[in-house]
A and B are shown apart, each in its own frame.
Chain A
Amino acid sequence: MVFWILVAVLVAGVTLAIMRPLMVPARPAGGIADADIAVYKDQLKEIASDAARGAIGVDEAESAKAEIARRLLRVTQDHPKIETAGDEKTRSRFITPVTIFTSIALPVASLGIYLAYGAPGMPAQPLSERIADASEASKPNDLVAKVEQRLRDHPEDGVGWDVIAPVYYAMGRYEDAAQAYRQAIQLLGENPKRLQGFANARIRLENGIVPDDARKALQRVIVLAPQTIEPRIWLALAKEQDGHLAEAAADYKSLIEQSPADAPWRKVLEERLANIDPAAAASVAKENKATESAPAASGAPSGPDASAVMSMNPEQRQAFITNMVEGLAARLKADGSDAAGWVKLIRAYQVLGRHDDAVKALNDARTNLKDNQVGLAQVEDLARQLGLGS
Chain B
Amino acid sequence: MIVELGHFALILALLVAVVQVVVPMFGAAVRDERMMRVAEPAALSQFLLIALAFLALMHAYVTSDFSVLNVAENSHSTKPLIYKMAGVWGNHEGSMLLWVLILALFGAAVAVFGNNLPPTLKARVLSVQASIAVAFLLFSLLTSNPFLRLDPAPSDGRGLNPILQDPALAFHPPFLYTGYVGFSIAFSFAIAALIEGRIDAAWARWVRPWTLAAWMFLTIGIAMGSWWAYYELGWGGWWFWDPVENASFMPWLAGTALLHSALVMEKREALKIWTVLLAILTFSLSLMGTFIVRSGVLTSVHSFAVDPARGVFILAILVLFTGGGLALFALRAKDMQAGGLFQPISREGSLVLNNLLLVTAAATVLVGTLYPMALEGLTGEKISVGPPFFNMTFGPLMIPLLIALPVGPLLAWKRGDFLGAMQRLSFAFLAALVTIVAAFAVEHRGPWLAPFGIALGVYVMAGAIIEWANRVKVGSASFEEVARRATNLPRSAYGTLFAHFGIGMLVVGIIATSAYREEHILAMKPGEKVAVGGFEVTFTGVERGRGPNYTEDIADFAVTRDGSPVTRLQPAKRLYDAPPQPTTEAGIHASWRGDLYVVIGDAQPGGGYAVRAYFNPLVRFIWLGALIMFLGGGISLSDRRLRIGAPSRTRQALPVPAE
Contacts and interface: CB of A to CB of B under 8 A. Distances in A.
A2 B147 CA distance: 19
Given A18-B16, A63-B646, A27 B120 contact: no
A122 B49 contact: no
B428 to A, nearest CB: 25
Interface string B184-208: 0000000000001010111001000
Contacts of A67: 644, 646-647
Chief secondary structure at chain A's binding surface: helix
A91 B34 CA distance: 9
B61 to A, nearest CB: 10
A285 to B, nearest CB: 44
A42 interface: yes
B577 interface: yes
A110 B200 contact: no
Contacts of A10: 5, 8-9, 12, 49
Given A39-B202, A124-B65, A148-B156, A14 B4 contact: no
Nearest to B119: A29
B457 to A, nearest CB: 31
Contacts of A19: 38
B202 A118 contact: no
Interface in A176-205: 176, 179
B154 A141 contact: yes
B15 A109 contact: yes
The size class of the interface chain B forms with chain A is: 35 or more
Given A21-B37, A32-B200, A102-B19, A117 B145 contact: yes
Interface string A1-30: 011001100110010011111101011111
B577 A179 contact: yes
Interface string B59-92: 0100111110000000001100000000000000
Contacts of A123: 1, 67
A374 interface: no
A7 B5 contact: yes
A233 to B, nearest CB: 27
Given A106-B16, A124-B63, A94 B30 contact: yes
Contacts of B578: 176, 179
Contact of B32 (A63, A94, A152): A94
A357 interface: no
A148 B155 contact: yes
A293 B121 CA distance: 86
Interface in B26-48: 26, 30-38, 40-42, 44-45
Given A43-B644, A83-B31, A124 B37 contact: no
B642 interface: yes
A335 B78 CA distance: 48
Contacts of B302: none
B647 A122 contact: no
B201 A40 contact: yes
Contacts of A296: none
A71 B269 contact: yes
Nearest to B32: A91
Contacts of B577: 179
Contacts of A117: 7, 11, 141, 145
A63 B42 contact: no
B45 A17 contact: yes
B201 A6 contact: no
A329 interface: no
B23 A98 contact: yes
Given A42-B642, A75-B201, A32 B40 contact: no
Interface stretch (A48-56, A270-278, A318-326, A378-386): A48-56
Interface centre among A34, A125, A128, A152 (most CB of B within 10 A): A125
Contacts of B387: none
A61 interface: yes
Contacts of B30: 90-91, 94
A90 B31 CA distance: 10
B656 interface: no
Nearest to A27: B33
Contact of B41 (A2, A17, A127, A179): A17
Contacts of B32: 26, 91-92, 94-95
A125 B65 contact: yes
A125 B11 contact: no
Contacts of B67: 122-125
A91 to B, nearest CB: 5
Contacts of A7: 5, 8
Contact of B65 (A54, A120, A127): A127
A53 B487 CA distance: 10
Given A21-B38, A61-B646, A120 B4 contact: yes
B16 A3 contact: no
A121 B7 CA distance: 12
Nearest to A179: B580
Contacts of A102: 19, 23
Interface of B: 1-5, 7-9, 11-12, 14-16, 19, 23, 26, 30-38, 40-42, 44-45, 49, 60, 63-67, 77-78, 116-121, 141, 145, 147, 149, 151-156, 196, 198, 200-202, 205, 269, 484-485, 488-490, 546, 577-580, 641-642, 644-649
Listed from nearest, the 3 A-B pairs whose CB atoms lie closest are A126-B63, A35-B118, A127-B64
30 contacts: A6-B5, A10-B49, A19-B38, A21-B41, A22-B38, A29-B119, A30-B119, A32-B200, A38-B116, A46-B642, A54-B485, A54-B488, A71-B201, A91-B30, A91-B31, A92-B32, A94-B32, A98-B23, A98-B35, A102-B23, A106-B15, A118-B11, A119-B4, A124-B3, A124-B65, A145-B77, A152-B77, A175-B579, A176-B578, A179-B577
Given A31-B118, A106-B15, A106-B19, 8 more contacts: A3-B5, A47-B644, A91-B31, A94-B32, A114-B7, A121-B4, A145-B155, A145-B156
